[in-house]
Structure 1
């Protein structure tokens, strides 16, 4: 599962992507539109700014803007920045590899083999889907609602 912070970061980037080009959005506007606690949003935007995804302008007409085009910011990049490694097992992490403590050998680990496929497919979707894709894609009918 992704964290609430990552969901908020993606929603903030979506709001900035929908804004008129060159028209900064103030934190309070993003917070209201996306239902994000303002103090939490400030921290998230600072993280995104430090990592070159957004920039800010000071002054009366100030606020936040995307630093890069929405078509250049992937879901995977945002999730990795906010939540860390995108892997179901530490031995499958690209950025924070760690051998599983209870593993006799990765080559023969059935669990690793299955979750390697999951991780590969997940990364393929996350790193090929941009903020621009998400705001232009119609609502998907292939998302199944799960019964409790």
Structure 2
């Protein structure tokens, strides 16, 4: 499950993606349009700015705008910025420092293997879906950009 912060970040980025190239949006406008608390949105936009997804401009016509085209910002990238690496189980991470305390051999753990596949497929879909895809048709996942069944658990969410 993703956090409310991630949902707000995606809403804010979609609002910025709807704007004309170079057009800035003020925090109050985004917050009002997307039903996001203004103070929380300020923190989120700062995180996104540090990560290079948004830029800000000062002055009378200041505000926020996307730093990259919407077709180059994947939902997976946004979720990794806001949530950090996501794994349904700590032991699923390939570089995990958190082995399962209740597994005698992680290589034989069926639960770990199933959840690793679920995480990999979810990540594949999120990494292949951009802000532009969502704006074009939010009900369609760009299947032509998916590689099929994912088998690894690298670079998730």
TM-score, length-scaled by structure 2? 0.84
Deviates more, 1:43-52 or 1:87-96: 87-96
**SS at 2:2's partner residue?**
coil
Per the alignment, residue 121 of structure 1 pairs with 121
Shift in alpha-carbon separation, 1:33–1:94, aligned structure 2, 3 A: farther
Cα separation, 2, equivalents of 1:56 and 1:20 = 15
Deviates more, 1:55-64 or 1:71-80: 71-80
**SS at 1:127's partner residue?**
helix
- 2:21 is the alignment partner of 1:12: no
Cα separation, 1, equivalents of 2:11 and 2:50 = 18
Cα separation, 1, equivalents of 2:123 and 2:101 = 24
Cα separation, 2, equivalents of 1:84 and 1:31 = 24
Per the alignment, residue 143 of structure 1 pairs with none
- 2:141 is the alignment partner of 1:137: no
- 2:51 is the alignment partner of 1:51: yes
Gaps of 5+ in 2: 141-157
TM-score, length-scaled by structure 1? 0.89
Shift of 1:68: 1.0
User: Between Structure 1 and Structure 2, how many residues are aligned?
Assistant: 140
Q: Cα RMSD over matched residues?
A: 1.5
- What does the per-residue CA deviation read over 1:63-101, in whole Å, with 9 as the maximum and x for residues that have no partner? 000001111111111111111222111122357653222
Gaps of 5+ in 1: 141-148
